[in-house]
Amino acid sequence: MGIYGAINSAVSGLAAQAQALENISGNVANSQTIGFKRLDTTFSDLVSGGGSTQASQVSGTTYATSRATNTVSGDISSNDIDTYMAINGEGYFVVTQAADFVDGSTTFADDTYYTRAGDFEVNKEGYFVNQAGYYLKGFPLDATTGNPVGDTPSVIQINSQPLPASATTTVNYQASLPRVPATTNYDSTVANSELLNDGANGAPGPNLGATEIGDTGTLEADFLNSSISGGSVTTYNSNGSEVPLNIRWAKVDNTAGAEVWSMYIDTGGETGTSYYKVGNVTFDGTGQVTALANTGATAGLGVTTTGTTSFTIDTITVGGVTAGTAASAADSITISFANGSLTQFADPDGIATSVNLSQNGYAAGELSNIAIDESGRVIASYSNNQTRALYEVPLATFQAEQNLRRVDGAAFAATSDSGNADLSGGGAVISNAVELSNADIADEFSKLIITQQAYSANSKIVTSADEMLDSALNMVR
């Protein structure tokens, strides 16, 4: 049986090398497939029967099995598309397939798959779909807390509806006021000329009173000559209309250790008033705020104070646009001086310095872009410069990922041998990038040469065995 055994071994070698060639061929064909994991080939021997020791045994046949390389990452390549993702480390994107298209909407299969192919783009329905047709899944994020909702990921769909406007509720104000404001009326040789004449402080110049500034005669011009700019910020009302707040400061009291400034806001041309008065701020000798008061504040603003940290305006109309509601705190605007952000120190230029105003409102905005951040969250950007985190992209890991079942499109399905997916770990998501195939053409060609030689050698065994059988048959002729 030696010659026949040799033929059997050679034939098994031919079959094994043919399988190796098939894997090499597939690897080369998919060397440019995003997220593809090559299949290597492992050879095992089958021992022939007979003999209790190796001295009485002969080499047996062989068989080939495919070996997964799921744990071997491909190169990561950067890309200009904001929704492309790569995984640095362990894990797979969780995806599914479309089942049907019913009443203008896509329905999805119950099956879940896993892939490293992160070439996702947003389709016309707002779904993330990669080039193989798989739909990305993720955890929706709570709009208030930013935390993932639920334990089971759902198909990510981006809503293209505009982001509603949000009214300004807080203006964070920072400034350092000068001890001596360099107003137009200021004359270093004239006592109290840096003060606004409120009718009680003995300051020179027109008496402008201790409340709002009217719009008749030269009242506005006189006020501007007795005050300094305090910066400006655009706020928004509940329907997204802009309400600009242009702030001015006028010093009204030079009493040592209790110097007082008055805060005003430009009305934008409202009839009867050129500048609203918000209230008074008192500074101690160290330049820190010791008191806020709504003394002389414009009645229609509904100004209230909170300690030494803020003025709150119930409603204000600027240039015909109103923000807030009279006698209602629900949509009032708080001008905050928290954390000592308003001070008074000597300044040689006599102007307000370190002025910075920010606010938390915005107009309505259209969806302008979708991107992935460094933590793997789907971020929607809007035309009003607002962003919203909508979904978190989970990464699935497995106890035995080499036992995943391969499916079309560089994807895998879980099996009993691979274990269930764990969505609590994984590597890091890299945005604007994709993972390339881990099949290297140079390596595959090297394996191809070895496979070709092994195949030729096995075929030579068959030829030699055939010649030996012919010789044995010719002996009886």
Give per-residue pLDDT as tens, 276-321.
999 999 999 999 999 999 999 999 999 999 999 999 999 999 999 9
Distance, CA of 306 to CA of 311 (rounded, Å): 7
What is the reported pLDDT for 49?
A: 67
**Do 349 and 178 touch, CB atoms closer than 8 A?**
yes
The token duo for 387 is 């962003």
pLDDT at 1 over 60: no
Q: Which residues in 209-309 belong to E strands, given as ranges?
A: 228-236, 242-253, 259-266, 275-283, 289-293, 304-306
Reference 239, options 170, 319, 323; nearest CA is: 323
pLDDT, tens digit (0-9, with 9 covering 90-100), for 311-347: 999 999 999 999 998 877 778 999 999 999 999 999 9
What is the reported pLDDT for 56?
A: 65
What is the reported pLDDT for 51?
A: 67
pLDDT, tens digit (0-9, with 9 covering 90-100), for 17-29: 999 999 999 999 9
What is the reported pLDDT for 110?
A: 92
pTM value > 0.85: no
Distance, CA of 107 to CA of 100 (rounded, Å): 5
Reference 387, options 403, 365, 409, 406; nearest CA is: 365
pLDDT, tens digit (0-9, with 9 covering 90-100), for 180-232: 999 999 999 999 999 999 999 999 999 999 999 999 999 999 999 999 999 99
Mean per-residue pLDDT, 357-367:
96
pLDDT at 123 over 70: yes
The token duo for 20 is 């190796």
pLDDT at 101 over 90: no
On average, the pLDDT of the chain sits at: 93
